[in-house]
């Protein structure tokens, strides 16, 4: 082994002829192969120290790429990526490894770069497996937790990736089965793009972000394990996306299937979220969207699709009594045999514009939209079921229910003591 980091840099970057030939990766200043530092993707070798030495070498060289060739790299400890360093695997686009419980499926590490993680086992509050610094990147690899099994509740682990500096990026990564996926606590201008997998407890959590972050092209689906005890646990406890304080988070083309909550908005000690959410979706979540809090500038949710059809009282949108901000749904579709489309309380503003509602009130006679309090807008929407359409409770302060298409006779019940306008709604002739 090398006597100093300088020796390692000299050997890994300048003259790694033999190791380069072995790994099949060209090396040059700014490009370091982890196998030059003793790392092995054989599925058995412990690689924490080897990877960390490679990161330090890249940092001393002024930053650059630390490349992990195809293989299964085991880690019993956490790793820290320094500023300006890019941990890169072999995939040029996010991979997929569905159905690992079936022996005929390709397993992670057999077709590219996979990190097998046991670090932090047993505690969700421990040190994250990967801690990122400013201007660092992780891309082109799989994160896999081999000790998780499908027939019991999941083993808790800390966050798989913690973005802890500004301008961090996670690109083309598969979060195959971590307990917790990615947190962006304090990571301004983060970029999370092209991420798939099945995080079990939490997928992505955004908080304490004071400059615009971006989350794009995310697909959380139960490929790793479906119709098993661990999947049932995920449905009862899991949250795919959660947003605390974020100043104009931009979220584009995201999807979650089979979680207790698809998208959760909450207030933390640092504040609440306002953001632009375009083309987001939650399928078969007990609560597709749960809004506990939002900033007054608003959650702008456009071109969404949301379903909730099993579990306790499945509801596409729930806005709780703690909400006093603004949330707006536009050009979105709500479908599937749930108990209702939306339950609304709190003192904020909730708007539905140009939306479609299909298939609710399967086991009851509930209205699609039930508002207990706050201010409500339902404009230019289509209700495709001849069932109760809107119920306004006595504590609703203001409401406009107008220019909607209603299946069957109009069933809009107004118990409000506030100011309500319900006009120009058109019923179908049965």
Give the other-Cβ count within 10 Å of 166's Cβ: 17
Mention every residue, 6+ apart, whose C-beta is less than 8 A from residue 359: 335, 336, 337, 338, 384, 385
Quick: pLDDT tens for 229-239: 999 999 999 99
Quick: pLDDT tens for 61-106: 999 999 999 999 999 999 999 999 999 999 999 999 887 755 567 8
Q: Which residues pair with 34 in a beta bridge?
A: none
Average pLDDT, the chain: 92
Residue 42: name the closest of 79, 1, 65, 70 by CA.
70
- pLDDT at residue 219 greater than cutoff 90: yes
Compute φ and ψ for 389, nearest 5 degrees.
-100, -55
pLDDT band at 130 (very low <50, low <70, confident <90, very high): very high
Does residue 34 sit in helix, strand or coil?
helix
Give percent of the chain above pLDDT 70: 91
Label residue 387 exposed, middle or buried (CB < 10 Å: 0-12, 13-18, 19+): buried
Q: What is the pLDDT of residue 263?
A: 98
What string of DSSP letters covers 239-262?
A: EEEEE-SEEEEEEEEEEEES-SEE
- pLDDT at residue 430 greater than cutoff 90: no
Q: What is the pLDDT of residue 30?
A: 83
Expressed in angstroms, the distance from the first to the final Cα of the chain is 82
- pLDDT at residue 25 greater than cutoff 50: no
Give the other-Cβ count within 10 Å of 353's Cβ: 16
Quick: pLDDT tens for 146-175: 999 999 999 999 999 999 999 999 999 999
Q: Rounded CA gap, 203 and 215, in Å?
A: 12
Angle value at C-alpha 135, between 129 and 141, nearest 5 degrees: 45
């Amino acid at each position: 082994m090398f006597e100093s980091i300088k020796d390692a840099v000299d050997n890994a970057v300048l003259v790694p002829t033999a190791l380069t030939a072995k790994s099949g990766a060209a090396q040059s200043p700014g490009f370091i192969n982890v196998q030059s530092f003793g790392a092995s993707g054989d599925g058995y070798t412990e690689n924490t120290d080897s990877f960390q030495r490679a990161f330090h070498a890249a940092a001393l060289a002024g930053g650059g790429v630390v490349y992990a060739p195809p293989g299964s790299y085991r880690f019993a400890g956490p790793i820290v990526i320094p500023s300006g360093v890019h941990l890169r695997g072999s995939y040029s686009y996010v991979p997929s490894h569905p159905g690992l419980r079936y022996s005929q499926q390709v397993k992670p590490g057999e077709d590219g770069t996979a990190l097998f993680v046991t670090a932090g086992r047993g505690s969700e509050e421990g040190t994250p497996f990967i801690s990122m610094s400013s201007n660092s990147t992780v891309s082109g690899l799989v994160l896999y937790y081999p000790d998780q099994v499908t027939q019991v509740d999941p083993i808790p682990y800390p966050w798989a990736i913690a973005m802890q500096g500004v301008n961090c990026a996670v690109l083309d990564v598969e979060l195959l089965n971590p307990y917790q996926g990615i947190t962006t606590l304090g990571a301004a201008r983060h970029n999370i793009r092209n991420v798939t997998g099945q995080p079990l407890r939490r997928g992505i959590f955004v908080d304490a972000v004071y400059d615009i972050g971006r989350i794009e092209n995310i697909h959380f689906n139960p490929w790793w394990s479906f119709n098993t005890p661990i999947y049932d646990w995920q449905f009862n406890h899991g949250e795919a996306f959660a947003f605390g304080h974020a100043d104009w988070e931009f979220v584009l083309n995201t999807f979650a299937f089979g979680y207790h909550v698809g998208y959760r908005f909450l207030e933390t000690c640092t504040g609440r979220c306002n953001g632009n959410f375009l083309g987001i979706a939650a399928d078969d979540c007990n609560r597709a969207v749960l809004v506990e809090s939002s900033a007054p500038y608003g959650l702008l949710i456009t071109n969404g699709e949301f379903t909730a059809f099993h579990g306790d009282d499945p509801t596409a949108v729930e806005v709780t009594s703690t909400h006093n901000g603004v949330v707006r749904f536009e050009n979105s579709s709500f479908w599937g045999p749930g108990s209702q489309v939306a339950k609304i309380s709190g003192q904020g503003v909730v708007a539905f514009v140009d939306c479609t509602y299909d298939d609710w009130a399967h086991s009851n006679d509930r209205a699609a939209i039930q508002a207990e309090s706050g201010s409500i807008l339902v404009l230019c929407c289509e209700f495709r079921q001849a069932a109760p359409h809107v119920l306004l409770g006595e504590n609703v302060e203001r409401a406009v229910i107008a220019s909607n298409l209603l299946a069957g006779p109009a069933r809009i019940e107004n118990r409000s003591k506030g100011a309500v306008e319900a006009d120009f709604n058109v019923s179908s002739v049965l």
